[in-house]
C-alpha cells in the first residue's frame, strides 16, 4: 500500500507531518528516545528575555487523568538560549519554533528581533498566557485588545511565521483568536492549560507551591477540542490543537474539528516515544480509510 | 536509557508495607548503577494513574537479567504496582539520572538510611563490599518490624546499627551522636544517605565539620523523569552560587555539600 501524505502547511512553513511537541513538555533530552526529525516541528519551552527562576515547589500534582503544573517560566534568558541551546537544533531538519514569553509587549518584540537573526529559528510561538505587567497581571490572552497589541508588535518585529498560543481561561476564545489573526498571526495554537487547583486533605495545604496551576492531560481534551472547533469556524489562519492527546484517534479528532496540526504535551512524560507512535497510527488510519493526504481530514467533522 | 518492557518474575510482600519486585529486563541491569532509578508505568492505561512512578534500583542481577525494586505501597500508583502478577509486563524507562560515586581510594564508608531509603543505598553497599570496602550502616525506621535489610547487609559483611522511632534512637540528635562516634574511630572516607530530610541536614553538617565527602539521593515529585518538564527542580549550592538543578537529570544523587533545602 502506498503511504499517505502526512505533510501540512502552516502559513509559509511546511511540516512533514502534523505532530509536534507542546511547549514546556519537550527538550533536547528527548533526542535520546526518538529521532527528532520524524516530528513535524520542534517547539521549545517558553523563553524570556532575562533569567527567571520559575515557581517554588512542589511544581507538580497529578489529578484524575490529568496533571497540574505550576512550573512557571524558569528561563536561562534569551542570550544563553541562543548561545547554548540553538546550536543543538542545527543538527536537525525538523523546523525549530521557539516559544517566547514576556511581561510587556515590548519584551515580546525584543525577543522576536533577537531570535529572528538566527537561521535555525523557523518560526515563533508567542505564549500570551503569562501575566501582563502592563494590565494588572491579567494574561494578555484574556483580552482581545491586549492580544492584538502584543501580536501586532511581534508581527512588526519579525518576518518569521508567528503562532499565537491562546489561553482557554477566557470568555470567548474565538474572539481572542480573531484578534490574533487581525494582528497578523500566521496560526493560533489552542490552547494552553486550564487553571486549576488541588488540596492535600492531610495537611490542608494546596498540593502546588503556587496554590493554583495549569491542568493538562487527557482530562482536558473534550474542552480544548470544543474550543478548536469554535475557533476553526471563524478564523482563516491554521489552528494548531493541543490538549490531552495520547493517541492517533485523539489527533484525528482534532483534525476533524478543524486543526491543521497538533501538539502533544503531557503524554511525552508518560511515553517518551509517544509522538512517533501517534504519527505511525495516523498513517495507518489514512491508509485504512483510503485517504491520499491527511489534509483531507482537516475540518471534516460532519455536523 | 531507554523505554523497555520487562516481565514480572516475583512481586512479594517483605513486611506489612513494602514489596519486593523482580523484573526480567534483558540488558538493563548491565547498564545500571547504584543510585540510578527507573520510571515505572504502574497503571494499565493512562487514565488510571497518568504519570510513571520513580523507583530506585534496589538490586541489579546481570547474570539473571533482573532488576529489583523495593517499594512502599503508599498511594494509587504503588497500589497498582503491588497488583502486578508474575508474568505481567512492566513498562520501564531507564536507567535514569546519576548514581553514587565510590572513589577508588576509599576503604571505609558510612551509610545512613531512613525507611525505604535503604532500597536506594542497597546496591551501593553491595558494590562497596564487593570491592572489599568496609561499610557501616545505620538503618532508621519507625519500628523494629519496619527495619529492612539488617540481615542482608550483615551477610555481606557490613556493620549494621538499627535505630527506631519506637525507642527514640532515631532522633537526628541521637543519630548524630552515633555518626560522630563512628567517625571518631578515624577510618571513614565518605558518607552517604537517603530517605530523610532531617538526617540529610544533620549528615551534611557533620560531614562538613569532619571535612568528609558525602552524597545524598534525593526524592522529588516528577512528571517526565528525563529532564523535560522542570517539575523536579531544586536549588543547590554550586561553585558559590545558588543554582536550579533537576533532581531527575543532574541527580538524584548530589554531593551533600550542595544541598540547600533538604
Ligand atoms: C528518584 C526516586 C527514587 C525513589 N525510589 C523509591 C524506592 O526505591 N522505593 C520506594 O518505595 N519509593 C521510592 N521513591 C518514592 C516513590 O516514587 C513514591 O513513593 C511513589 O511515587 C508514590 O506513588 P503513589 O501513587 O503510590 O503515591 P501517591 O502519594 O498517591 O502519589 C501521588 C503523586 O505524588 C508523587 N509522589 C508521592 N510520593 C513521592 C515521593 N516520595 N517521591 C517522589 N514522588 C512522590 C507520585 O509519583 C504521584 O505522582 C522514589 C522517588 C524518587 C524521586
Ligand atoms: C509541565 C508543563 C510545562 C508547560 N510549560 C509551558 C510553557 O512554558 N509555555 C507554554 O506555552 N505552554 C506550556 N505548557 C502547556 C503545554 O504546552 C500544553 O498547552 C498543555 O500541556 C496542554 O497539552 P497536553 O494536555 O497535551 O499536555 C506546559 C505544560 C506542562 C504540563
Ligand atoms: S521530572 Fe521532568 S525534569 Fe525532572
pLDDT tens sequence across A148-190: 999 999 999 999 999 999 999 999 999 999 999 999 999 999 9
pLDDT in tens, B121-146: 999 999 999 999 999 999 999 999 99
Residues of A in contact with B51 (CB under 8 A): 62, 67, 269-270
Domain ranges of chain A: 8-55+73-195+217-297
Distance CA B210, CA B180 (A): 9
CB atoms within 10 A of CB B155: 10
Q: Average pLDDT, whole number, for chain A?
A: 96
CB B230 within 8 Å of CB A59 = yes
Average pLDDT of span A237-246: 98
Beta bridge partners of B53: B40
The mean per-residue pLDDT over the stretch A3-23 comes to 97
Judge whether residue B46 has pLDDT over 90. Answer: no
For residue B244, the model assigns a pLDDT of 93
pLDDT tens for A91-127 read: 999 999 999 999 999 999 999 999 999 999 999 999 9
Q: Rounded to whole angstroms, what are the CA distances from B261 to B199, B210, B236? A: 12, 21, 8
The values of phi and psi at residue B216, to 5°, are -135, 140
| A130 carries an active-site annotation | yes
Nearest CA in chain A to B234: A57
Percent of chain A with pLDDT over 90: 92
The total of other beta-carbon atoms located within 10 Å of residue B20's CB is: 17
CA distance linking residue A87 with residue A78, whole number of Å? 13
> Which residues on chain B are in Cβ contact (under 8 Å) with A71?
229-231
**pLDDT at residue A56 in the model:** 87
pLDDT at res. A184: 98
What ipTM describes this predicted complex? 0.95
Contacts A–B by Cβ distance under 8 A: 92
User: Are B103 and B42 spatial neighbours (Cβ–Cβ below 8 Å)?
Assistant: no
- B contacts of A263 (beta carbons < 8 Å): none
Average pLDDT of the residues of chain B:
95
What phi and psi values does residue B237 have, to the nearest 5 degrees? Answer: -95, 115
Residues A284, A8 contacting (CB under 8 angstroms): no
Three-state DSSP class for residue B188: coil
Q: Is the beta carbon of B229 within 6 A of some atom in ligand 3?
A: yes
Q: Which grid cell is B262?
A: 533538604
Cell of A140: 494578555
Is residue B184 within 8 A of residue B176, CB to CB? The reply is no
Interchain proximity A57–B230, CB inside 8 Å: no
Compute the distance between CA of residue A59 and CA of residue A70 in angstroms, rounded to an integer: 5
pLDDT score for B227: 97
> Which residue segments constitute the domains of chain B, with CATH numbers given?
2-96 (2.40.30.10), 108-218 (3.40.50.80)
Rounded Cα distance, A179 and A149, in Å: 9
CA atoms within 13 A on the CB side of B211: 2
Mean pLDDT score, B18-46: 94
Cα A210 to ligand 1 centroid, rounded to whole Å: 21
From A8, A109, A130, A239, the catalytic residue: A130
CATH for the stretch A8-55+73-195+217-297 = 3.20.20.70
Burial status of residue A164 (CB atoms within 10 A of its CB: 0-12, 13-18, 19 or more) = buried
Amino acid at each position: 500500500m502506498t503511504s499517505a501524505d502526512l505533510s501540512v502547511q502552516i502559513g509559509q512553513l511546511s511540516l512533514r507531518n502534523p505532530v509536534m511537541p507542546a511547549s514546556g513538555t519537550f527538550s533536547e533530552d528527548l533526542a535520546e528516545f526518538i529521532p527528532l526529525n520524524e516530528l513535524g516541528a520542534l517547539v521549545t519551552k517558553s523563553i524570556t528575555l532575562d533569567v527567571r527562576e520559575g515557581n517554588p515547589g512542589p511544581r507538580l500534582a497529578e489529578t484524575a487523568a490529568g496533571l497540574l503544573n505550576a512550573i512557571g517560566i524558569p528561563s536561562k534568558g534569551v542570550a544563553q538560549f541562543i548561545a547554548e541551546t540553538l546550536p543543538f537544533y542545527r543538527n536537525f531538519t525538523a523546523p525549530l519554533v521557539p516559544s517566547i514569553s514576556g511581561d510587556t509587549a515590548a519584551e515580546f518584540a525584543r525577543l522576536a528581533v533577537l531570535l529572528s537573526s538566527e537561521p535555525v529559528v523557523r518560526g515563533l510561538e508567542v505564549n500570551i498566557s503569562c501575566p501582563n505587567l502592563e494590565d494588572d497581571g491579567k494574561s494578555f490572552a484574556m483580552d482581545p485588545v491586549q492580544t492584538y497589541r502584543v501580536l501586532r508588535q511581534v508581527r512588526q518585529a519579525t518576518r518569521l511565521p508567528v503562532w499565537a498560543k491562546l489561553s482557554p481561561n477566557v470568555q470567548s476564545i474565538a474572539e481572542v483568536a480573531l484578534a490574533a489573526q487581525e494582528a497578523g498571526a500566521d496560526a493560533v495554537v489552542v490552547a494552553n492549560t486550564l487553571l486549576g487547583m488541588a488540596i492535600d486533605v492531610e495537611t490542608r495545604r494546596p498540593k502546588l507551591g503556587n496554590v493554583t496551576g495549569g491542568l493538562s492531560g487527557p482530562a482536558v481534551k473534550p474542552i480544548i477540542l470544543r474550543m478548536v472547533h469554535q475557533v476553526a469556524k471563524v478564523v482563516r489562519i491554521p489552528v494548531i490543537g493541543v490538549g490531552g492527546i495520547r493517541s492517533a484517534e485523539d489527533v484525528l479528532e482534532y483534525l476533524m474539528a478543524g486543526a491543521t496540526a497538533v501538539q502533544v504535551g503531557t503524554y511525552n512524560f508518560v511515553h517518551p516515544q509517544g509522538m512517533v507512535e501517534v504519527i505511525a497510527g495516523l498513517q495507518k488510519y489514512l491508509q485504512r480509510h483510503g485517504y491520499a493526504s491527511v489534509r483531507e481530514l482537516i475540518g471534516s467533522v460532519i455536523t | 536509557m531507554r523505554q523497555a518492557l520487562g516481565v514480572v518474575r516475583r512481586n512479594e510482600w517483605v513486611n506489612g508495607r513494602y514489596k519486593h519486585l523482580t523484573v526480567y529486563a534483558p540488558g538493563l541491569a548491565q547498564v545500571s548503577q547504584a543510585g540510578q532509578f527507573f520510571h515505572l508505568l504502574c497503571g494499565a492505561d493512562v487514565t488510571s494513574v497518568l504519570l510513571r512512578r520513580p523507583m530506585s534500583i534496589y538490586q541489579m542481577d546481570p547474570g539473571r537479567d533482573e532488576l529489583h525494586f523495593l517499594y512502599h505501597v503508599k498511594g494509587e500508583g504503588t497500589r497498582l504496582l503491588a497488583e502486578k502478577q508474575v508474568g505481567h509486563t512492566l513498562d520501564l524507562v531507564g536507567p535514569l539520572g546519576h548514581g553514587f560515586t565510590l572513589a577508588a581510594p576509599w576503604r571505609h564508608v558510612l551509610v545512613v538510611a531512613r525507611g525505604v531509603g535503604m532500597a536506594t543505598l542497597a546496591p551501593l553497599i553491595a558494590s562497596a563490599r564487593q570491592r572489599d570496602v568496609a561499610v557501616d550502616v545505620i538503618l532508621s525506621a519507625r519500628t523494629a518490624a519496619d527495619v529492612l535489610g539488617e540481615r542482608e547487609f550483615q551477610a555481606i559483611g557490613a556493620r549494621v546499627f538499627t535505630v527506631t522511632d519506637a525507642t527514640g534512637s532515631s532522633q537526628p540528635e541521637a543519630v548524630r551522636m552515633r555518626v560522630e562516634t563512628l567517625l571518631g574511630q578515624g577510618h571513614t572516607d565518605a558518607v552517604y544517605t537517603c530517605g530523610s530530610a532531617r538526617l540529610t541536614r544533620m549528615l551534611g553538617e557533620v560531614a562538613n565539620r569532619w571535612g568528609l565527602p558525602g552524597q545524598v539521593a534525593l526524592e522529588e515529585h516528577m512528571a517526565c523523569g528525563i529532564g523535560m518538564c522542570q517539575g523536579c527542580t531544586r536549588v543547590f549550592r554550586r561553585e558559590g552560587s545558588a543554582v536550579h538543578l533537576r533532581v531527575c537529570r543532574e541527580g538524584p544523587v548530589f554531593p551533600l555539600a550542595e544541598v540547600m533545602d533538604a
